[in-house]
Amino acid sequence: MLEKQLTGHRVDRSICAWFWEQAISQGDSFKLQPVIASPTHYLFQVVREGITYLACTQVEMPPLMAIEFLCRVADVLSDYLGGLNEDVIKDNFIIVYELLDEMIDNGFPLTTEPNILREMIAQPNIVSKVLSVVTGNSSNVSETRPGATASCVPWRTTDPKYANNEVYVDLVEEMDATINRDGVLVKCEIYGEVQVNSHLSGLPDLTLSFANTSILDDVRFHPCVRFRPWESNQILSFVPPDGQFKLMSYRVKKLKSTPIYVKPQLTSGGGTCRVDVLVGIRNDPGKTIDSITVQFQLPHCILSADMTSNHGTVNILANKTCLWSIGRIPKDKAPSMSGTLVLETGLERLHVFPTFQVAFRVMGVALSGLQIDKLDLKNLPNRPYKGFRALTRAGEFEVRS
């Protein structure tokens, strides 16, 4: 089942047939290539939630432009339709066509800012359904013209009005870490985002400052952020778009420690391999660490595995992954998992060493140490509600054995 809209030069639909043939014959590895050469075109592909987005070109072009655009299309579509799957797309052909129509013309991306699109094409959400029943006007296109395209801040609708003015600022961080065979922290880095959810009337002007910007290694901003104040005082000054958006993303490198430790130990001999994994708190972040899981891929040469733990549950999944869900670390004991792996006959010792992937979540703290100092709002009729939250998750947190 495929869905597409062609602009500019016509491309024959058979390219899709070609694509599927290849995709089916080559399996998963094919799905990972972002750029594919077909006999007539170069195809860009992005896969999201089981739906493949394709773009083709015959000439040289910046690859990121196509890939970024496809990602944006995927984001906008799932934003509009509230999640994506084949059925949703089938039910909303019209919306998808309308959106694509506004997003790209003749092969050149036009408007991808969700706020503006929302003004041109109404969302098929419950509110509009209710509204249409009440008013008897079932048109799913709002009657207003795209006003924001004319406004001086293109990312903001001209004049939103809210009874309760609210703004939420979330620090969401992901910790990537690699711990090598000797238990040494090889690499530890945090990728973080400042996500803002703004419901503010009029044209507010916000300034957000941090207590310790010196730790930031590299930053990227939403187009609404003014560059000069950041350059001189490390202050984020901006007129926010309406609704949820990513204000800034940043990277903090060379962190010295991780909140938890995972110590795997493998000893093999005589056709079996003994596995022991210990998990505990290394550096207490002050808040509870929850949703802890440890998983590893069983090597191919393993016939069977028998793993048990003193806390949490251990499952061997169908794809030969051993998943140990710990949840929270109890106060009185250190969780441990142990068991034996039976090797293929003829193998004395295990030669491949699995990598343990660790996941966890810490609410209420940004492990990079970044702290919001204050948020000032100007141009607002009444005092808004300001909310701050922080969250750190494990990203690519891996422990080698």
Partner 1 sequence: MAPPAQSQRSPSPSQPSGKGEVSDLKSQLRQLAGSRAPGIDDSKRELFKKVISYMTVGIDVSSLFGEMVMCSATSDIVLKKMCYLYVGNYAKVNPDLALLTINFLQRDCKDEDPMIRGLALRSLCSLRVANLVEYLVGPLGSGLKDNNNYVRTVAVMGVLKLYHISASTCVDADFPAMLKHSMLNDSDAQVVANCLSALQEIWSSEASSSEEASREREALLSKPVVYYFLNRIKEFSEWAQCLVLELVGKYVPSETSEIFDIMNLLEDRLQHANGAVVLATIKVFLQLTLSMTDVHQQVYERIKAPLLTLVSSGSPEQSYAVLSHLHLLVMRAPFIFSSDYKHFYCQYNEPSYVKKLKLEMLTAVANESNTYEIVTELCEYAANVDIPIARESIRAVGKIALQQYDVNAIVDRLLQFLEMEKDYVTAEALVLVKDLLRKYPQWSQDCIAVVGNISSKNIQEPKAKAALIWMLGEYSQDMHDAPYILESLIENWEDEHSAEVRLHLLTAVMKCFFKRPPETQKALGAALAAGLADFHQDVHDRALFYYRLLQYNVSVAQRVVDPPKQAVSVFADTQSSEIKDRIFDEFNSLSVVYQKPSYMFTDKEHRGPFEFSDELGHLSIGAESTGHASQSSLAIDDLLGLGLPVAPAPAPSPPLLKLNSKAVLDPGTFQQKWRQLPISLSQEYSVSPRGVAALTAPQALLRHMQGHSIHCIASGGQSPNYKFFFFAQKAEESSTFLVECIINTSSAKAQIKIKADDQSASEAFSTLFQSALSEFGLP
337-366 residues near partner 1, rule: CB under 8 A: 351-355, 357
CA distance linking residue 21 with residue 347, whole number of Å: 40
* Residue ranges in 235-294 that form contacts with partner 1 under rule CB under 8 A: 246, 249-251
Q: What is the DSSP letter of 163?
A: S
Q: Which is nearer to partner 1, 40 or 164 (CB)?
A: 40
Side-chain-side CA neighbours of residue 34 (13 Å): 9
CA distance linking residue 104 with residue 323, whole number of Å: 44
Provide, rounded to whole angstroms, the least separation between the CB of residue 220 and partner 1: 5
CB 243 within 8 A of CB 75: no
Q: Which is nearer to partner 1, 249 or 338 (CB)?
A: 249
Applying CB under 8 A, which of residues 191, 210, 261, 324 lies at the interface with partner 1?
191
Provide, rounded to whole angstroms, the least separation between the CB of residue 94 and partner 1: 6
Q: Does 90 bind partner 1 (CB under 8 A)?
A: yes
CB 192 within 8 A of CB 215: no
Provide, rounded to whole angstroms, the least separation between the CB of residue 330 and partner 1: 28
Provide, rounded to whole angstroms, the least separation between the CB of residue 356 and partner 1: 9
Helical segments of 177-295, H only = 227-233
Applying CB under 8 A, which of residues 312, 366, 370, 398 lies at the interface with partner 1?
398
Helical segments of 203-249, H only = 227-233
Provide, rounded to whole angstroms, the least separation between the CB of residue 267 and partner 1: 15
Contacts with partner 1, 91-130, as mask; x by CB under 8 A: --xx--xx--x---xx-xxxxxx------x----------
Say what angle helices 93-103 and 63-81 make with each other, to 10 degrees.
140
Provide, rounded to whole angstroms, the least separation between the CB of residue 102 and partner 1: 10
Q: Which is nearer to partner 1, 200 or 224 (CB)?
A: 224
Provide, rounded to whole angstroms, the least separation between the CB of residue 265 and partner 1: 15
* Count of C-beta atoms within a 10 Å radius of residue 30: 14
CA distance linking residue 67 with residue 44, whole number of Å: 7
* Count of C-beta atoms within a 10 Å radius of residue 298: 19
Q: Does 316 bind partner 1 (CB under 8 A)?
A: no
205-210: strand order across its sheet: 235-238, 205-210, 372-378
Q: Does 320 bind partner 1 (CB under 8 A)?
A: no
CA distance linking residue 313 with residue 356, whole number of Å: 16
Provide, rounded to whole angstroms, the least separation between the CB of residue 284 and partner 1: 26
Q: Does 186 bind partner 1 (CB under 8 A)?
A: yes
Q: Which is nearer to partner 1, 57 or 334 (CB)?
A: 57
Q: Does 58 bind partner 1 (CB under 8 A)?
A: yes
Please enumerate in sequence order all residues whose Cβ is within 8 A of that of 115, keeping only pairs 6 or more positions apart, or say none.
148, 155, 156, 157, 241, 242, 243
Stretch touching partner 1 by CB under 8 A, among 79-87, 194-202, 213-221, 258-266: 213-221
Please enumerate in sequence order all residues whose Cβ is within 8 A of that of 380, keeping only pairs 6 or more positions apart, or say none.
165, 200, 201, 202, 204
Q: Which is nearer to partner 1, 180 or 315 (CB)?
A: 180
Q: Which is nearer to partner 1, 292 or 399 (CB)?
A: 399
Q: Which is nearer to partner 1, 47 or 380 (CB)?
A: 47
Please enumerate in sequence order all residues whose Cβ is within 8 A of that of 270, keeping only pairs 6 or more positions apart, or say none.
348
Provide, rounded to whole angstroms, the least separation between the CB of residue 196 and partner 1: 13
